[in-house]
Amino acid sequence: MAAVSTKTGQVVDRTVLESLLRRRLFYTPSFEIYGGVSGLYDYGPPGCAVVNNIVDMWRKHFVLEEDMLEVDCTMLTPHEILKTSGHVEKFADWMCKDPKTGEIFRADHLVEEVLEARLKGDKEARGQKVVVDEEKEAKKKKKAKEAKVVKLEDAVVKEYEDILAQIDNYDGPELEQIIVKHDIRNPTTDGNLLPPVAFNLMFQTSIGPSSNMPGYLRPETAQGQFLNFQKLLDFNQQSMPFASASIGKSFRNEISPRAGLLRVREFLMAEIEHYVDPDGGKKHGRFEEMKDIELALLSRDVQLSGSTQTTNMTISKAVEIGLVDNETLGYFLARIQLFLLKLGVDPSKLRFRQHMANEMAHYAADCWDAELQTSYGWIECVGCADRSAYDLTVHKNKTGAPLVVREPRAEPLKIEEWQIDLEKKKFGPRFKKDGKTVEAAIEALSQEFREKLALDLEQRGKIEVDVEGVGSGKVELDKELIKIEKRTRVENVREYTPNVIEPSFGIGRILYSVMEHVYWSREGDEARGVLSFPPALAPTKVLIVPLSTHASFRPLSHRLMMKMRRMGISNRVDDSSASIGKRYARNDELGTPFGITVDFQSVKDNTFTLRDRDSTKQVRASEEDILQALKSLVEGDETWEDVRKRLPEFTGQEIEYGGLIIIMAPAIPSAKLTISCPLFAADFDPQNHGFLLVAGGGGEGRSGVGNKIALLDARKRSKISEVVDIELSRDEDSVTSLAAALPNDDSITTLVGINSSVAEQKRNNNQHLRSFKIDYPPRKKSSMTGSIEEESSLKEQDQVLRQTTALTRVSLFRTKGAGQQSSSMGTYQRILRLSPWNGHGAPRVAAIATGLAPSGEIVLFHATSTPSAADVIGRIRLNSDEEAEDVDIVDLDGGRFQVAYTNGVDVFAFQISSATRSNGSPGVTCIYSIPLPEGKSISRPKFRALRFLSPTALLLLQNVPGRKGCELVLLDLQQTVSAHKQTSARLSHRRKLRKAMQIGLGLDVCNLGPNIENDQQAMIAVSGLDQSIEILTLEYNPRRGDYGKLRSYTTLREVHPISMTKICFSTFLPPQHPVTPETPPQYVKLASVSMGNTVVVHTFPLSPCPPSSRSPRYVLAMPGESDVWANFTSGTAALLSILTVCLLLQAFSEIRGVAPPYLGATEWLPLDVRAAIARPYHEPPLHALTISSATAPMRTPLPSTHHHQSPHDPDVHHATDTIDKTIDSDPFVDTPFPSIPS
């Protein structure tokens, strides 16, 4: 059996799942601190909630919708009832015992396990591949010894296989013969076993203190319903058909309970007994509603052929061809499927299996099981049996109770029948105490037998009747005692015993199976388990998560909690100190479908974010809208996608509260792929950001690692797939740079930097610039549907239709490396940069720059599909040992472009036109240089990368020496552009990034498009040496004509295993206005590649701003307050802080007696504190300050004052006056209080 997978394709790890369920207290072994009892479990709070929700949904789906009559019958059942029903005799399994160890085995399971182990050993001995049946392996006790590898005789193998095929058909004596013949022993001890004995599965007990009334804990709820049939019929006003229902505990004393909740000794059942008239084919009035429901059916005949292949068929077809016996049985099969799907059952893991004749219960005429596939195999969770009239008939015959339906006939029915009259006066004295027995036997005679007896009585004058228990078993009757005549009677009332269709649900088995079906884990973090319960089934519907323990959040959380409780929506508040991510993660394990975040914005405007468990998407709206959405979601009136369409999506925000900048950002979806070589370059198709080009390689002569370009399909947020793979020559260098130049609907032309081999470079023939045309795969009509076979055929078709064409290879540099002593001194292409793509037909220019050249060079050229020396529009020759660290290009107007580059210390800019063709150098001006601290010979910071935000704004990534961090620097180029000549740029903003990044490795920018007022937000990504990517946003305000502050959005940590080499954003193309509900969600992708052969794509959802506008701009983070207000608030807070510190210092000085009491701080202190630390203040005399300390002799200390008293006390004033006089009369004292002890 193949491994069972989750809905995301992961293999179900039962150990991890069961650990989660026990850790989160869904269930736990009973009496565990005493060692536990096998087959008994307790449900914890979430388990109880889910069970109650299943029962509630069952009651609504069946009892309320079908108008059933619910009863609750006792669990204690007298012996006589279960004897009549057949349970005492037949509700048993055969078990055998090891007399030495006392170990008990279920006989058929033991035979099956031992023979299968021997057959496995035979296959291994024959050298055949052994396929392990995981379903059966999971059900074994796991304590048997490994079977010996022994080759068996072919006849023995055949006999073993025949036994296993019929294992369910053997009774006790037959099992004993098999055990003896094939020497089957205790697998653990190899000891002999006693013969199998029947073990009744019912728990026996005594009712009452006398122990004279034996009884049982019921094995099913059905018998209580059958015994109340007549009363229920009367309650239903004699109307047929009708159904009764019951929910309650049942008990089965399993011989060897195992598999957790799937085989236990006490379990909850929900059973329906549907009473139907057997005449007329057991029709059902609502069958038409279900007739088109399609079921996966495994028939009895298919099983007999040895197959388990199901057939998908509508229930109407199954009834029509007789596969399902009647409409009522078929109706309930369809209703059962709808109920299970409502619980969250995976449709692909549900089937209906017909019982074989040898496995049906003693009361069943036909039976189908709804089986659910789990890691334990296919598990019977619901049985739907046609019990015919068995139960009502046996109880009626036993008790004489009229368990029948009597209904008036529309027309009287005349019936001819043989009737028997007994001569009671002679009959009684003749048979005495056996009279009633004989009379009952005569009344039970069939019409056919009565007709025969009438003929015998007429011919012979006497007859013989079989009566068990009377004399020899035969009774002779003559004409004096009995008369048999054929008479006609008129019947106005029809009397019949109804048939019963019984759906029986094992709630515990359904619960466990559903938990396996809804379990999965987050991609890339298998430890984060998720239980995707449907909202109606989840134990808790909503988690309320305050952003922190801030006191302002408590009233909002409490109000939300109470409102939802009054609405009947279960919820809980998690205000622990754990991070929001951890709080959501542990509630994902509990299956909580929705979360409400209470944050500082909620305090301001009473709006909240609502999070979906499965997608982790969030929306933000008012309290009223959020509560209404939750009500609709929990009641099933709306799906999460419906809510997302009508409520604005929340993608994160940065707000100021209490002087603190609070940054909130959602989880960012990501996908990862490992390529066969290190990667150095990446670029998105500017027209369709679903396709990503990456390139790299091992370089020349590196064994085992090739050079390649790959086109990746990144349309899915959680998956990247390789659709085109271009293997390049291993005799050349790896791909160092790449740019998607000319996109079309069916192909893309890409420019690539690939340096030729060392040998070619020595011949001054480094054809470093290449171009390729890559065909896209055929577009699928529907990416959401289609079978596996269809997908595989499409893949094969893709291989045929996709082509890659090498268009050109050219050298544009004039700096040559020939004649150099070391190949490291050659001229390499290191940088390739294109101007932004502005649609088909718009001109684009490109810039390439050298690396490791004797003198650096930048070449600008018209970006065509086959670039050549004729396309060059400018060259810049750098100084000796000077290289360009980075280059960027931005459009101006009229075919002109602004170009900027940096050598690491200086920033240069110039303008160029795409219409010119020239090998000359444009007018280049240094517009900014990193200042060198005066008087210090230390290393200056160094620019690593630069990107244009607009023609008037340039963003640079600057690294601090010694790997001590990095920062972003924003230069204002407005004067430079407006003057049409290059002048110095103004440093506008700078933002230090996390010190943990050590070095900034890469930078990219994505402008998100302006609105009609020209407001615009830019996304910024910076990669660091710590394998993180810092995401920031920057707002442009056209009314002020400048940019706001650089604001952090989120940090993507541990993106790659080793150093990142390139990051790039996709091009954002805003949707057309007006924006309608049909406008798809907007997002931007960020790709990053690394030396570790990995490519990662993050998808950032964008939000319309404002959300309700039909012509909004799109943003990553909602704009915060203006910088002016933020600066004012921050400045005010700083001033208040300084003032507070000054007041505290002044107060402390007054208390210590070294400052005048302007504040009167000592008066605030309690007396005991004042006495311990306070000093009086004494103003120093002016003439004492003029005496030279050098001439002042040492003086004897003056008498101490009463320093424990307040300076305001009379004694203290007196002592102070005395000291002042002493000081005034002594010309040698140089300080006011030289000898006053402290």
- Tens of pLDDT, residue by residue over 389-405, are 888 999 998 888 989 99
Kindly state the tokens that stand for 445: 């005679």
CATH code of the domain made up of 92-200 = 3.30.40.230
Instruction: State the fold for domain 405-496.
Output: 3.30.720
SS3 of 673-693: the string is EECCCCEEEEEECCCCCCEEE
Burial code of 840-863, b = ≥16 C-beta within 10 A, e = fewer?
A: eeeebbbbbbbbbbeebbbbbbbb
Tokens of 231: 């009363």
Whether the CB-CB separation of 845 and 914 falls below 8 Å is answered with yes
Nearest residue to 269 via CA among 230, 309, 209, 223: 223
Rg (CA), the chain: 45
CA distances, 1061 to each of 697, 832, 1000, 1022, 1024 (Å): 12, 14, 11, 12, 10
CATH number of 18-74+219-297+308-391: 3.30.930.10
CA–CA distance, 476 with 466 (Å, rounded to integer): 9
* Count of other CB atoms within 10 angstroms of residue 884: 23
Phi and psi of 747, rounded to 5°? -160, 175
Q: What pLDDT is attached to residue 134?
A: 45
Pick from 576, 589, 577: which is nearest to 527 by CA?
589
Residue 214's nearest CA partner among 200, 225, 228 is: 200
CATH class of 540-650: alpha beta
- Nearest CA among 774, 691, 699 for reference residue 735: 699
Cis check: omega of the bond before 534, within 30 degrees of 0: no
- Ranges in the chain annotated CATH 3.30.720.200: 405-496
DSSP 195: P
User: Which of the residues in the chain have pLDDT under 70?
Assistant: 1-2, 129-147, 168-169, 361-363, 524-527, 651-667, 701-704, 779-802, 815-826, 933-938, 975-983, 1120-1130, 1161, 1165, 1168-1238
pLDDT given for residue 891 in this prediction? 92
Are 885 and 945 a contacting pair, CB within 8 Å? Answer: yes
| Alpha-carbon gap, residue 449 to 19, rounded angstroms | 67
DSSP state of 185: -
675, 1093 Cβ separation under 8 angstroms: yes
Q: Which token pair is 390?
A: 């068995």
φ, ψ (nearest 5 deg) of residue 128: -90, 155
- What residue ranges of the chain are covered by domains with CATH 3.30.930.10? 18-74+219-297+308-391
Tokens representing 18 are: 């069961």
Strands (E), 973-1046: 986-992, 1000-1007, 1016-1024, 1029-1037, 1042-1043
846 alpha carbon, distance to own chain's centre: 44
Tokens 């010190």: give the residue.
995
- Name the strand (E) or helix (H) holding 911: strand 906-913
8 A C-beta contact, residue 1000 and residue 1022: yes
CB atoms within 10 A of CB 622: 13
Distances (CA, A) of 170 to 164, 318, 668, 1022: 10, 31, 60, 73
User: H/E element holding 915?
Assistant: none
Host H or E run for residue 440: helix 435-443
Which of 12, 53, 46, 19 minimizes the C-alpha distance to 507?
Answer: 53
List of residues 6+ apart from 583 with CB closer than 8 A: 543, 545, 574, 576
Report which residue type is found at 804. Answer: T
- Name the residue among 1198, 1189, 1196 with its Cα closest to residue 1216: 1198
Q: Which helix (H) or strand (E) holds 624?
A: helix 623-634
Burial of 661 (0-12, 13-18, 19+ CB in 10 A): middle
Q: How many residues are given for the chain?
A: 1238
Say what the pLDDT of residue 993 is. Answer: 93
Q: What is the rounded distance in angstroms from the CA atom of residue 1205 to the CA atom of residue 1218?
A: 16
In the chain, where does the domain assigned CATH 3.40.50.800 lie? 540-650
Helix (H) or strand (E) holding 424: helix 424-431
Provide CB contacts within 8 A for 893, sequence distance 6+.
none
Under 8 Å between Cβ of 944 and 887: no
pLDDT at 651: 66
Query: H or E element: which one contains 338?
Result: helix 327-342
Which whole-number Å values give the CA distances from 405 to 69, 234, 493, in the listed order? 17, 10, 10
Residue-level pLDDT at 1238: 33
Q: Tell me what pLDDT residue 1208 has.
A: 41
197's CB contacts (< 8 A; 6+ apart) are 94, 95, 96, 172
Q: Extract the runs of DSSP E, i.e. beta strands, from 1009-1136.
A: 1016-1024, 1029-1037, 1042-1043, 1047-1052, 1060-1065, 1083-1090, 1094-1101, 1103-1105, 1113-1115
